[in-house]
Amino acid sequence: MRRKIVAGNWKMNGSKDLAQTLVGFVRSRIASLDNGVEVVIIPPAIYVGDVIGHAGDELSVGVQNVGQWGSGAYTGEISAEMAADQGCQYALIGHSERRQIFGETDTVVAEKVERVLAGGLYAVLCVGETLQDRDAGDAEAVVASQVRAGLATVAPDQWQRVIVAYEPVWAIGTGKTATAQDAQAMHASIRGVLSEMGAPADEISLLYGGSVKADNAAALFAEPDIDGGLIGGASLIAEDFVSICRSVPANI
C-alpha cells in the first residue's frame, strides 16, 4: 500500500518560537491519529535543527532545497548529505518558486534529484503547470515533461524514495484550488507517465499542493490517486495543519 504523507512547507517563514510551539502542538496531536499518515515538517534550513529538536519520533523533517553538488565552493548552498547529517529525511526539489524565481531548469532539477537520492533522502519532486499552460490545453503535457525530465536518472532501486507533488502554479498561494476531480485527473496522468518510465507507479506516493486548507482537504484526499498533500500557508497554523492531517482517509 502506498504511503500517506502530509508535508508542511514553511517557505521563508518561521522562528525558533514557531519551531517550539507549532511543532510541539502538531506532535502532541499526531500521536493520537490512527489513519497511518506520515507528517513531515519542512522549515527554512536555518531552523531544521530547532524543528528536529521538537519533532520526536512522531514527525519527519525535510529541507526546502539542496544544491546539485556534494560539496565545494558554492557559498550559500547546502548539500543533500548535509541535510541527512542533520537528521532530515526529505528534500523538496523543483518547487515552482525555485523554477520561476531562481531559474532552475529541468536539467538542474534532475541533478538535484540525483544528489538527494544518492544522499539517502526521499526526493519530493514538485511539478505543475501555469494558468497559461492550462488555458492552452497543455497542462498534462507540461507536467508529464517535468516528471520525465526530473526523474530521468532514477535507478530501479531508488524509486521507493521518490515522491511526486503536483502543485498547479496558478493555485499556489492564490486561494484558488483545483477541483478534486481535476487534481485526480492529473495525478492519474502522472501515475501513467511513471508507469511508462518503468517505475513501480502504483507504489509511488503522489501529493497534491496548491491552497489546500482544512475545508477542502478531505475531498482532495478522498480521490484514489491522491496520497496526501504538500501544504503551504496552512502548515503555519497549527490547528489547520492538524485538521488537514486528520483528513487523510485510513485507506487511500
Which 3 state secondary structure label does DSSP give 21? helix
Q: Which cell numbers in the block locate residue 239?
A: 490547528
- CA dist 129 and 170 (Å) reads 8
Active-site residue, selected from the candidate residues 95, 114, 129, 140:
95
Residues composing the chain: 252
CB 186 within 8 A of CB 213: no
Burial class (CB in 10 A: 0-12, 13-18, 19+), 198: exposed
Q: Which amino acid is at 176?
A: K
Catalytic residue among 140, 167, 187, 223: 167
How many Cβ atoms are within 10 Å of 201's Cβ, its own excluded? 17
54 is catalytic: no
Cα–Cα dist 60/56, whole Å: 8
Active site residue 223: no
The CA distances from residue 17 to 20, 65, 190, in Å, are 5, 22, 38
233-251: b (≥16 Cβ within 10 Å) or e: bbbbbbebbbbbbbbbeee
Cα–Cα distance between 109 and 106 in angstroms, integer? Answer: 5
Please name which of 59, 76, 66 lies closest in space to residue 124, comparing C-alpha atoms. 66
Q: Are 104 and 98 in contact (CB under 8 A)?
A: yes
Q: Catalytic positions, please?
A: 95, 167
